[in-house]
């Protein structure tokens, strides 16, 4: 998604030790209705602040892992400064 500050990646995670979620490994494993509800939440999250957001859709698990690693690296750089 993007907002007034630019791109803002979100990562969907599931509790792997919960039997209700333990078989979900890919985005396609998460029910379509739940993904739609999550997308809707982020589309209206800042509405009361009169801020516009753009939900750009979903990316596969591999991209989520890249985003997580990029975030870790950014944290390491910031912590080292």
Catalytic residues: 8
**Strand partners for 76:** none
Q: How many helices (H) and strands (E) does the chain have?
A: 2, 2
Distance separating alpha carbons of residues 69 and 79, to the nearest angstrom: 15
């Amino acid at each position: 998604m993007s907002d007034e500050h630019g791109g803002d990646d979100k990562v969907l995670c599931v509790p792997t030790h919960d039997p209700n979620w333990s078989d979900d490994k890919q985005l396609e494993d998460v029910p379509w209705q739940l993904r739609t509800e999550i997308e809707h939440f982020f589309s209206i999250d800042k509405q009361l602040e009169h801020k516009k957001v753009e939900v750009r859709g979903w990316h596969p698990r591999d991209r989520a892992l890249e985003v997580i690693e990029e975030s870790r690296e950014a944290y390491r750089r910031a912590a080292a400064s």
